[in-house]
Amino acid sequence: MAELRPIAPAFVVAGPSGVAVRDRLKRLTVEDDTMLRLVGAHLGALASADLKNRCADGLGHCADTWAARKRELTVQSSARWAGAITKASHDQWALARRVQADHIRDLQAAIATISRRLSQPLGKKGTRKEPGGYRSAQEWFAKSRRLHLLQDRLKRLRADHQAGRVRVVRGGKRLAHARHHLDAAGLTADGWRQRWEAERWFLAADGESGKRFGNETIRVTPDGQVSIKLPAPLAHHANAPHGRYVLAARVRFAHRGTEWADRVEANRAVAYRIHLDAARGRWYITASWQRPAAPAIPMAAALAAGVIGVDTNADHLAAWRLDVHGNPIGNPRRFTYDLSGSAEHRDAQVRHALTRLLHWAGTCGVKAVAIEDLDFQTEKTREKHGTRKRFRQLISGMPTSRLRARLTSMADQSGIAIIAADPAYTSKWGAQHWQKPLTSTKRTTTRHDAAAVAIGRRAQGHPIRRRTAPPPAHRSDGQGHRTDQTGTQARGREGPRPRIPGPRT
């Protein structure tokens, strides 16, 4: 019998520590649009040059090189613009460095898997913990060539990592690749050029507490007036005192608008980013700020009114409400989403599904939602699953990290706690113990619905099994109850079951 891995205890997910809201800049004049493009292009060129210098410094970066780069940028912009640009360059380099390290670990795991399978006889069957040999001599030969390819790639990456070299594309690698495949991307040369330039512009400013309205570079007043501190070469275009340009658009943040207004009136730091959606020709402004994460509520308080177990799938969320004893209540619910199309469409689909889920939880009076603590980063390589391409596409399409981050942020506003449960064996045991008992002539219970029940019970601390083994010696209650679904404090637990009308079979 295969050994089961230990089950990690469930825990309450901590709330978000950052907030970001967005609004559209409407009713911009032609002069406003021209000025935003000039400022974005000028600062974007400075940001590209600074990122190049930061990548050239590599591991030799220090406070002196940082100060020298900032002094050069200050002459062509301002001190605060220079600080925002250098900070963005550091963050971009650090992100590329982390991605490089993750790529090295993925290559090492793939090389180890291929080497282990090449050393085994052809056709040898694998186990749950270790894959077997390859199926044919042709596959063995192809994998041996791939092994040398991965080893060479790993050697180059290790050399870059030790030297501090990273590869960064301002504007995005995907958009740069689309330049050579315009027909496949559905773009024209002019349309691609507009998107490329818009992505490389720089119009972002960090907040500063104690300054007027929390930001001296991009300032938004409580009544929605937006003004920008122009860089030194463009200061002659100012239409307001102190080298500022005031836009004709008025901003009104519908989401978290009260919280944003409180911060602005108290002169607390708020960061802003202005960007152009080249496909629609619309300007947007995003406000973001940090706040201390709310302390996680105790597990017992979160589960006091029951829980909703949620099983995450590639195209829907399967949910079922459970009472405090772990018994399913009512009928299962399904919240579908479509993850095809653009990134904005996929994100909107996830938000709509989570909104419906949280609304249902609020209607039921439940204060906790249990989800699986999924992580497919090490589970979707083709070396692990071989020719199971459809399965790899399935788990790659599941928005685990995005869904959990969205759900945590949205639930924080609703006063609902998110409980992360270990996903081990939930689908298998849920189908084994709950799918058939919950299926009736009027309700078809799927494997995903049964998994939602298993996830909810694990979050509550109950075993997934419906019943324990019967008493071995006699049928009295001296050795304890046979069920795990009711506690000793539950009233009426010894009473007769309610009569269900209908024929008996």
CB 309 within 8 A of CB 459: yes
Whether 258 and 318 share a structural domain: no
Q: What is the mean pLDDT of the chain?
A: 85
| Span 276-281, average pLDDT | 90
Q: Report how far residue 55's alpha carbon sits from residue 97's, in angstroms, rounded to the nearest whole number.
A: 10
Within a domain: 470: no
Whether 302 and 382 share a structural domain: yes
Report whether pLDDT(1) > 50: no
Whether 381 and 350 share a structural domain: yes
Whether 329 and 281 share a structural domain: no
pLDDT of residue 376: 46
Whether 153 and 212 share a structural domain: no
pLDDT in tens, 365-399: 899 999 888 764 555 555 665 556 665 555 555 56
DSSP state letters, 345-378: HHHHHHHHHHHHHHHHHHHHT--EEEEE----TT
Domain that holds residue 40: 33-174
Q: Provide the CATH number for the domain around residue 351.
A: 3.30.420.10
Within a domain: 478: no
Whether 80 and 217 share a structural domain: no
Least confident residue range of 11-25, 278-292, 488-502: 488-502
Within a domain: 19: no
pLDDT band at 54 (very low <50, low <70, confident <90, very high): very high
| Span 204-215, average pLDDT | 90
Whether 332 and 434 share a structural domain: yes
Q: Report how far residue 34's alpha carbon sits from residue 239's, in angstroms, rounded to the nearest whole number.
A: 14
Kind of pairing between the strands at 204-205 and 271-277: antiparallel
Whether 358 and 218 share a structural domain: no
CB 308 within 8 A of CB 322: yes
Whether 451 and 303 share a structural domain: yes
Q: How much of the chain, in percent, has pLDDT values that exceed 90?
A: 50
Least confident residue range of 10-14, 125-129, 288-292: 125-129
Whether 163 and 283 share a structural domain: no
Within a domain: 17: no
Report whether pLDDT(472) > 90: no
Number of domains in the chain: 3
Among 455, 465, 459, residue whose Cα is nearest residue 485:
465
pLDDT in tens, 420-464: 888 888 989 999 999 988 988 888 899 999 999 999 999 999 998
Whether 72 and 87 share a structural domain: yes
Within a domain: 490: no
Q: Report how far residue 379's alpha carbon sits from residue 387's, in angstroms, rounded to the nearest whole number.
A: 14
Report whether pLDDT(476) > 90: no
Whether 325 and 451 share a structural domain: yes
